[in-house]
Amino acid sequence: MFKFIKRNRNNDDKEIIELDYDRMPKHIAIIMDGNGRWAKERGLPRMMGHREGMKTIKKILDRSAHLGVKYLTLYAFSTENWNRPKDEVNALMNLIIEFAQKEGENLHKNNVKFNTIGDISKLPSNSLKAIKDLKELTKNNEGIVLNIALNYGGRNEIVYATKKICEKVCKGDINIEDINENLMSMNLYTKGMPDPDLIIRPSGEQRLSNYLLWQSAYSEFWYSNIKWPDFSERNLEKAIYDYQNRDRRFGKVKQ
Ligand code: IPE
Ligand code: IPE
Ligand code: MG
């Protein structure tokens, strides 16, 4: 109905940002980082930061859906995060269950399709059950896809895809000549989804930490010092605004 929405930036009434509804990123991926430091700054246990970070998910998901984003992929637990202290790993696994229990119905009501990427078979059985139930509940929803990256690693994903393709070659289902970029994409956890247009990393780190290595080939990156529990709808809109003001050339020369 209207092309632009206007938002004030940084609570400063004089500064207005305009978002173009016709050029919204289809797929936004976020590295939800900084929970531990957020808690430490407040003299709280790291777990409190993770808990607070869970609240941010809801806010950012709602706003993304409202803006017309089709896929929101959130990095929640990497293949390397198993190397954290056992207590923290356990607490994170329990938080997944809590998220599914607290938010599940709400996600369903809002037409959100819940999905995961990563090797969830390695998760504890009760976390796995909560995930499977929520996927089942929301499987026919047609609104925004909420992709949670759990026990996800980009390298692990590429190895997993390679094995699947090798199996097909060994069985004679495909020939080596059939292996191409499209076939690789179709064997990743993100099968059938567009590559992320925009990857956001809060908390000040400027690295991928094994996130979406294949899919990020032409993604725009946006970093900020804000820690994930403090990340707001306004920050999301600022990231989209910056994204819309960049020139994505995909290797071509501008006309
Ligand atoms: C991100 O926050 C959440 C997970 C990796 C599970 P961190 O726990 O990495 O927070 P920092 O980076 O230590 O502040
Ligand atoms: C990446 O953050 C993983 C998630 C946010 C789930 P990390 O905090 O684990 O990454 P590094 O250790 O700073 O690279
Ligand atoms: Mg971190």
Q: What is the DSSP letter of 63?
A: H
Q: 237 with 19: CB under 8 angstroms? A: yes
Q: Is the pLDDT of residue 68 over 50?
A: yes
Q: Is the pLDDT of residue 190 over 60?
A: yes
Which residues have C-beta atoms less than 6 Å from ligand 1? 32-37, 77, 81, 92, 203
Helix axis angle, 86-109 relative to 46-67, nearest 10°?
Answer: 30
pLDDT at position 13 is 44
Q: Is 89 in the pocket of ligand 2 (CB under 6 A)?
A: no
pLDDT at position 8 is 52
pLDDT at position 3 is 45
pLDDT at position 6 is 56
pLDDT in tens, 45-56: 999 999 999 999
List, edge to edge, every strand of the sheet that includes 27-31: 113-117, 145-152, 71-78, 27-31, 198-201, 220-223
Distance 75 CA to ligand 1 centre (A): 10
Strands (E) across the chain are located at 4-9, 12-20, 27-31, 71-78, 113-117, 145-152, 198-201, 220-223
Q: Is the pLDDT of residue 21 over 80?
A: yes
pLDDT at position 16 is 78
Q: Is the pLDDT of residue 12 over 80?
A: no
Task: State the chain's mean pLDDT as an integer.
Answer: 95
Domains observed in the chain: 25-153+196-244 (3.40.1180.10)
Nearest CA to ligand 2 atom 1: 209
pLDDT at position 254 is 84
Confidence of residue 14 (pLDDT cuts 50, 70, 90): very low
pLDDT at position 17 is 85
Q: Pairing relation of β-strands 220-223 and 198-201?
A: parallel
Q: Pairing relation of β-strands 4-9 and 12-20?
A: antiparallel
Q: Is 32 in the pocket of ligand 2 (CB under 6 A)?
A: yes
* Chain Cα centroid distance, residue 219: 13
33 is catalytic: yes
Distance 209 CA to ligand 2 centre (A): 6
| Residue 192 Cα distances to 51, 68, 186, angstroms | 31, 18, 7
Q: Is the pLDDT of residue 96 over 50?
A: yes
What integer is the mean pLDDT of 165-169?
98
Nearest to 133 by CA among 101, 91, 95, 89: 101
Residue to mutate, 32, 33, 75, 117, ligand 2, most ligand atoms under 8 Å from C-beta: 33
Map residue 229 onto helix, strand or coil: helix
CA count, 13 A, side-chain hemisphere, 248: 14
Confidence of residue 255 (pLDDT cuts 50, 70, 90): confident
**pTM of the complete model:** 0.95
Q: How far apart are CA 211 and CA 50, in angstroms?
A: 19
pLDDT at position 192 is 98
Q: What is the DSSP letter of 83?
A: G
pLDDT at position 232 is 97
pLDDT at position 204 is 98
* Residue indicated by tokens 């923290």: 88
Q: Is the pLDDT of residue 166 over 60?
A: yes
Nearest to 188 by CA among 73, 93, 76, 102: 73
pLDDT at position 194 is 98
Q: 77 with 92: CB under 8 angstroms? A: yes
195 is catalytic: no
pLDDT at position 1 is 32
Task: Determine how many CB atoms are found less than 10 A away from the CB of residue 178.
Answer: 12
